[in-house]
Chain A
Amino acid sequence: MAGAGLWSDAWARLVANRAAMASAGLLVVLTLLALLGPLASPYAPDAIDWEHMAVPPSLDSDHWLGTDRLGRDLFVRTLHGARLSLAVALLATLVSLVIGVTWGAVAGFAGGRTDALMMRAVDVLYALPQVFFVIILTVVFDRSVFLLFVAIGAVGWLTMARVVRGQALALRQREFVEAAVASGAGPARVVFGHIVPNLMGPVIVYATLMIPQMILVESFLSFLGIGIQEPLASLGNLIADGAAEMETAPWILLVPASCLVLIVFAFNFLGDGLRDALDPRER
C-alpha cells in the first residue's frame, strides 16, 4: 500500500476490471454521440421525410436506423432521446445525492432523537406510492422537463439517506471523529469535513446504480405519457411509440429499446466494478 493513496489504489483495481472499463468506454462513446451525433446527421429530430415513412434500417439509405411512421429519422431521434434520458437521470441522481447525503449524514451524526425524527420522516415518505407522487406533482405543477428532474430526484433520495445514515452512524463511533471534535471542529465541519468524505465510496457506488433506475423511471413515466412529450424524444416515449408499431415495424421499438438496455447495462457493470474497487475486502 505504501506510496499509494486510498483513491489511486481503488483506481488501479477499477482499471483492472474489464467489464467496468468496457462499460465506462461505452458510456463515454454514447454520451459523445448523444451530444454530437445529431449534428452529423442531415435530419432534424422532428423533420418529416415524406418520401421515407417507416423504412427499415439500412446502410444504403440516409436513414441508417430507419424512420418511424411519420418519416422521422430514428438515429437522430434515439440519440436525442438518449441525451434527454441521460440528462434527466444524471440531474435526478444529483438532486437525490445532495438531499440524501446531507439528510443521512446529519441524522447519523446527530443520533438520538434528531436521528429518530429524521429517519421516521423518511419512512413515511417511503410508504407513499412514489410513482403516484410524481404523477401528482406533474399534474399539479404542469408538465415540464425541469420539474421531472426534481420530482424523480426528490423521490429517489430516500434510499440514499438510509445508506448514508447507516454509514455515518458507524463512522461517528470512530476515534478520528472524536479526535476532530477534540480539536475544536464544530458539528458542520465534523459532518462535512470528516464523515461525509469517508462514506463517499458506498455513495458513489450507489449513485452509479441509481442512474439506470432513474432512466427507467423517466422512461416509465414518458411511456405512460406524463414524462417527456412529443415532439421531444426520450427513450421512454420512443419505446412507447415503437410498442404501438411492434408487429408491422419492429425496428421502431428495437432501436431505442437497445439503446436503453445498453445504457442500463453499462451503468450497472460500472457500479459493480466501482463497488469492488472501493471495497478492498472484495478482492
Chain B
Amino acid sequence: MALLEIESLHVGFRTRQGELAAVRGVDLAVEPGECVAIVGESGSGKSQTLLAATGMLAANGTASGRVAFEGEELLGRPQRLERVRGAGIGYVFQDALGSLTPHLTVGAQLAEPLMVHHGVPAAEARAEARRMLERVHVPDAAARLAQYPHELSGGTRQRVAIAAALMARPRLLIADEPTTALDVTVQAQVVALFRELRASLGMALVLVTHDLGVVAGLADRVIVMYAGRIVEAGPAEEIFAAPRHPYTAGLLEALPRLDDDPGEAMRTIPGSPPVAGPEAGCAFRERCRFAGSRCEERPELAAAGRRHVACHHPLGTGMGR
C-alpha cells in the first residue's frame, strides 16, 4: 500500500474573475521511504497539489478527488487531517524565518508538535528537541534552544525548521522549495542533510522545487507538472538522461552548465505558462517546437514501461519532429 495516494485531484480557486483551476486531475502515489520530486514553473500547481492533500488550501480554494494517507481518506476530514499533520506528514516551507513563530524560542517551537501529538511532558520534549537539533547538525544545540528565530543565520533557521517538521517523526516529509531562499553553499548542505536524514530516519520525502540541481542529488522519481497537470513522470536518472516531454527537455536545457560560453545568452523556454482558464488541447503547445495539428487535442498521460508522458510527439521515440 502506498503511503500517500492522490487520485484525480482537482484544485480550484474562487476569485473575482471566476473559478480558476490550479490543479486539473493529478494522480500521484508515494511509497514508504521513497523520494519523489515534483518540478515545474511557478503556477504549475505543484505546491497547491500538496497543500490540498494536507487540507491547507487558502480559504477560497476547493479540492476534489481522493487523497489517502496510509489508507485513510483525508480530503474534507478536518479532524483526521489535524492528527496526520505533523505526526504523519511533516511540512518544511521555503521561508524558514517566516515559518518559525517569532516570539517562541527554538526549544518551545520544537517541543510543541511532540506535546500536541504524543502528550510528551515539556522537559522530555525539550531533551528530544536538543537531540533533533544535533541530528540536523545545528552547532551548539543546547544553547540554540533558548534563542529566538531572528537570532539565527539563514542556514540554521532552515535546519531548525526541518528539525521542527521531523519532531513528531512523520512517515512523510514534504519540503516545498526548501532551498530556494538559501545561498548556494547552504543549499548544498541542506540537500546533503535531507539525504542523510532519509537514510537514518527512513521517512519518505516529497520535494517541491523548480531547481533541477536539487532534484538530481536526491530524488528517486521525478514528476514534471505543467499548467495543473502531470506531463511527465519516471525514475530520476532516466528523465535526466532522456526526457520525453518537450517541456522537460526545455527545463533541462535551461540549466546553466560549467562549459557554457560565458558570452552566450542563457537558454530559456520561450513564452510563459497559460493563465488558468478553460483549456483546449495540450497546454504547452504554444511554447512547443514540435506542436502540430494533433496537439489541439489534449494528450493523455500514457505509460511506457516505468515512464509516463503526456505528449503527442514525445522525444527520443521517433515520433518527434
Contacts and interface: CB of A to CB of B under 8 A. Distances in A.
Interface of A: 1-3, 5-6, 111-112, 174-176, 178-186, 189, 193-194, 197-198
Contact of A178 (B87, B99, B103, B117): B99
Contact of A6 (B100, B148, B167): B148
Interface string B101-117: 11110000000110011
B112 A179 contact: no
A120 to B, nearest CB: 18
B48 to A, nearest CB: 13
A-B interface, 8 closest residue pairs, ranked by CB to CB distance from nearest: A184-B86, A182-B91, A175-B98, A179-B99, A183-B86, A184-B85, A176-B101, A175-B99
Given A179-B164, A182-B91, 18 more contacts: A6-B103, A111-B59, A112-B59, A176-B100, A176-B102, A179-B91, A179-B101, A182-B54, A182-B93, A183-B85, A183-B86, A183-B168, A184-B86, A184-B116, A185-B86, A189-B116, A193-B112, A197-B104
Contacts of A174: 98
Nearest to B95: A175
Describe A's contact surface by its main secondary structure. helix
Interface in B207-242: none
A182 B168 CA distance: 12
A203 B95 CA distance: 27
Contacts of A193: 112
A180 to B, nearest CB: 7
B56 A183 contact: no
A169 to B, nearest CB: 11
A193 B102 CA distance: 11
Contact of A186 (B82, B150, B168): B82
Interface in B67-126: 82-87, 90-91, 93, 95, 98-104, 112-113, 116-117
Contacts of B83: 184
A194 B108 CA distance: 11
Which of A3, A176, A193 is packed against the most chain B CB atoms within 10 Å?
Answer: A176
